[in-house]
A = this chain, B = another copy of it.
């Protein structure tokens, strides 16, 4: 049977994640993998997970295994409400933060509508945006606030001049994936000003926010303008990704569309997992564990930065993230991280080519490195290995 005749138009805009396909190809534990965005398994306190689960079963009984409310179970929304100071009725639980991105796109973007984002940006978001045939327009980050504003004004002005509809701006303001960069308060305020001026929403994706290792916490974009921001949170980096739980803060009029959409998407988020997350937070275990995770990841970040300084050949530069899971390397213009990938993998080291995160396919001389997943020892071995391979490759390009 010729199935292609039956597929929807959207399917022709689907593209597969090169990151997820790497995981199908190699055993992450057998190589030095800087590729994934995985938390370290050291941050999963298995005995506490067991204890929390038993407590949930004893306290809630069968209710923990039934269908649940589409918005998420009340207990979890209440704990989030008091943790983040957001009213319960402005909180929707999602079956992963990725679902948060997807459902926001679903309720907002028609084919041909414009979604603005930083360039580079999160690959999973680009997949979702394109799967709805939205036109994703990337804006490279400018360090000076004036230049930052002008870069967006220029792009927006051009799009509006073409009669295009801008539906939302997607942004990871804290320790961005993939760049590791953080937006200043002034930059956050500029984005809010632009959204108000041109009448679009901001989807603030905030999975790494609580993983800060240095510098000072900045306000969320949500806190600056809760009427025009959809704020996406995730348990994946502060608890465990295997539970597939996240949340959306938003205006009730927008959340209502998301609520109805979620009914037909999957009825409700995983119920038992939600009670476990609520209990893990409410018992204080999450915060105690998070403090350990932050110490662990800080030491890994510091180790990686110091190894990069010690071993990387001339011509390679990198970002210095204040938190999160990633830093971003830039090699000389002639270097091609897509072509180089097989060499690296054959030698036992994996990364993600920077061009995969670009809306325009550019940035082939960049790569994303994760510092959370591997042990200190493997980070050391892996960076020394990668630096040696890059040194050889760059000397050939000269």
Contacts and interface: CB of A to CB of B under 8 A. Distances in A.
Interface in A231-249: 236, 240-244
Nearest to A267: B98
B102 A263 contact: no
A140 interface: no
Range for the number of chain A residues in contact with chain B: 35 or more
A200 interface: yes
Nearest to A272: B242
A20 B70 CA distance: 8
Interface stretch (A41-49, A179-187, A329-337, A376-384): A41-49
A282 B186 CA distance: 56
B264 A244 contact: no
A217 interface: no
Nearest to A259: B16
A110 B10 CA distance: 8
B49 A14 contact: no
Interface string A1-43: 1010111111100111100100110000000000010110110
A151 to B, nearest CB: 23
Contact of A38 (B67, B107, B242): B67
A38 B17 contact: no
B41 A199 contact: no
Nearest to A71: B24
Given A99-B265, A128-B264, A271 B251 contact: no
Contact of A269 (B5, B131, B244, B272): B244
B244 A268 contact: yes
Contacts of A143: none
A136 interface: no
A67 B131 contact: no
A164 interface: no
Contacts of A267: 20, 96, 98, 124, 244
A305 interface: no
A274 to B, nearest CB: 9
Interface stretch (A54-62, A317-325, A343-351): A54-62
Contacts of A107: 7-8, 10-11
Contacts of A113: 8
A201 interface: yes
Interface in A173-212: 199-201
B44 A49 contact: no
A53 interface: yes
Contact of A131 (B39, B228, B241, B264): B264
Interface string A86-127: 000000000110110010001111100100000000001001
5 contacts: A11-B257, A39-B66, A46-B57, A64-B242, A244-B268
Given A9-B110, A50-B53, 19 more contacts: A1-B227, A3-B253, A5-B199, A6-B201, A14-B257, A16-B259, A44-B65, A50-B54, A65-B241, A67-B236, A95-B95, A95-B270, A99-B266, A102-B264, A124-B264, A127-B263, A127-B264, A128-B265, A240-B272
Interface of A: 1, 3, 5-11, 14-17, 20, 23-24, 36, 38-39, 41-42, 44, 46, 49-50, 53-54, 57, 61-70, 95-96, 98-99, 102, 106-110, 113, 124, 127-128, 131-132, 167-168, 199-201, 227-228, 236, 240-244, 251, 253-254, 257, 259-261, 263-273
